[in-house]
Structure 1
Amino acid sequence: MNKIRIGYGYDVHRFEAGRKLILGGIEIPFEKGLDGHSDADVLLHAITDALLGALALGDIGSHFPDNDPEFKNADSSELLRYCYEMVSGKGYSVGNLDATVITERPKLNPYIKSMRHRISEILDSAPEDISVKATTSEKMGFVGREEGMIAQCVILLIRD
């Protein structure tokens, strides 16, 4: 395999009342959470898919099927950690990652530093190698109508 590998991840979840909003491995105060089989952490799911995709190891659904009761309400931090252990077992570490969350609300800027720190812990990386940004969709589409949230991520893996 090459010394450098790039992966891309994308995820989307709809909002649901009565659930906690978990994003980037932390809980964010908000009146709605995200709907999903696991904790529905859209950011960590995009990162997980990017990590797996960089080494052509499938996607999050192939490793943690949404119809498997074992993963009901699973902590996405643990799912990401498991996938990172697979990647590091193949001799790779994270060079850097760049992720964007697209949502009208909640405003995420106050939580970005905490998300970056949590992700860096999971991926055994320095926080300065983890970029998390937030933007809106300018009130367009399902995100603009505040029906859900999108996350995208690119990741660079380096062979140790």
Structure 2
Amino acid sequence: MRIGQGYDVHAFTAGSYVTLGGERIPHVRGVQAHSDGDVLLHALCDALLGAAGLGDIGIHFPDSEARWRGADSRGFLRHVRELLQQKGYRIVNVDATILAEAPRLGAHRAAMRANIAADLCLETARVNIKATTGEGLGFIGHGEGLACQAIALIEYAPEGTGPREGAGPETGSEAVPV
């Protein structure tokens, strides 16, 4: 089992929506970003990549490359899932906390969870999304931007073995049942 954490932040700019979890959510502002600026999916990508020791989103999708301008971050998340599968990892669950004063996210949470579950080939119950405000403090509280923290749990499970069985990718030792 391996754990990774991710974090992403974007400043608000002119616009009429923000993209979170693959959903376009109406808002009085947009986000300043090279891709679609989906802080939720970016933080999840970093958590998953970190858990597998595969760097971060900037290594795989650098903002210096024009091909990623305006890119749909759901494609990033699906690509990260494929990278993990190629290395013999299975995603166990993901959990994220969106930090924003606005927009309100409750009405969009089920759709965001469904998008992420579909992209990661997980049951929706293995995807959790929470939201909180900055209580008027800092750049979040002042409404200058939004951020997301994420954590992911993965397990080494090469094809043909069950969960927690087989050798680990680095050591060659037997995994310990939990």
For the aligned pair, the TM-score class normalised by the smaller chain equals over 0.9
The answer for the alignment partner of 2:43 in structure 1 is 46
SS at match of 1:12: strand
- Determine if the alignment matches structure 1 residue 116 to structure 2 residue 81: no
**Aligned letter for 1:54?**
A
Give % identity: 46
1:14-37 alpha-carbon deviations (Å, 9 max, x no partner): 011125311011111112121100
1:71-110 alpha-carbon deviations (Å, 9 max, x no partner): 1101100011111100011111211111000000111111
**Separation in 1 of the partners of 2:111 and 2:155?**
25
Cα deviation for residue 159 of structure 1 reads 2.1
Structure 1 19/38 Cα, relative in aligned 2: closer, same or farther at 3 Å?
Answer: farther
Of 93, 97, 103, which residue of structure 2 is paired with 1:100? 97
Of 78, 82, 89, which residue of structure 2 is paired with 1:81? 78
The answer for the alignment partner of 2:166 in structure 1 is none
**Aligned letter for 2:119?**
I
Structure 1 92/36 Cα, relative in aligned 2: closer, same or farther at 3 Å?
Answer: same
The answer for the alignment partner of 1:145 in structure 2 is 142
Determine if contact 1:10/1:49 at 8 Å carries over to the other structure: yes
Of 15, 18, 25, which residue of structure 1 is paired with 2:22? 25
The answer for the alignment partner of 2:153 in structure 1 is 156
TM-score, normalised by the number of residues in structure 2: 0.86
* Rg comparison, structure with higher value: 2
**Separation in 1 of the partners of 2:69 and 2:155?**
33
Cα deviation for residue 140 of structure 1 reads 0.2
Q: CA RMSD of the aligned region, Å?
A: 0.9
**Aligned letter for 2:67?**
E
Structure 1: tracts of 5 or more residues without a match:
none
Of 103, 111, 134, which residue of structure 1 is paired with 2:131? 134
TM-score, normalised by the number of residues in structure 1: 0.95
Of 2, 5, 21, which residue of structure 2 is paired with 1:5? 2
Structure 2: tracts of 5 or more residues without a match:
158-178
**Separation in 2 of the partners of 1:34 and 1:114?**
20
Aligned length: 157
Determine if contact 1:19/1:34 at 8 Å carries over to the other structure: no
